[in-house]
A = this chain, B = another copy of it.
Amino acid sequence: MKLSTRNQLPGSVTAVITGEAIAVVKIALDRGAEITSAITKDAAQDLGLVEGTRVLALIKSTEVALAVD
């Protein structure tokens, strides 16, 4: 499967904080930064996300804002 999503960053799950409806997932990118993702609890369970799971973080270009100093 090939995605239109331009930004695909590989990493490993470091934590999953699960609420009633939403789960917040922390990912250590292979390149060294940390990424946070908020998905439905169902999605986190379907993907079997636990500490150490290999994932791609997917970010649509229209969702990336920029800042300059």
Contact = CB atoms under 8 A, between A and B. Distances in A.
A66 to B, nearest CB: 4
A52 to B, nearest CB: 12
Chain A interface size, under 10 / 10 to 19 / 20 to 34 / 35 or more: 35 or more
B66 A63 contact: no
A66 B42 contact: no
Contacts of A56: 1, 66-68
Contacts of A23: 21
Interface string A11-24: 00000011111111
Contacts of A21: 17-19, 22-24, 38
Contacts of A33: 9, 29, 31
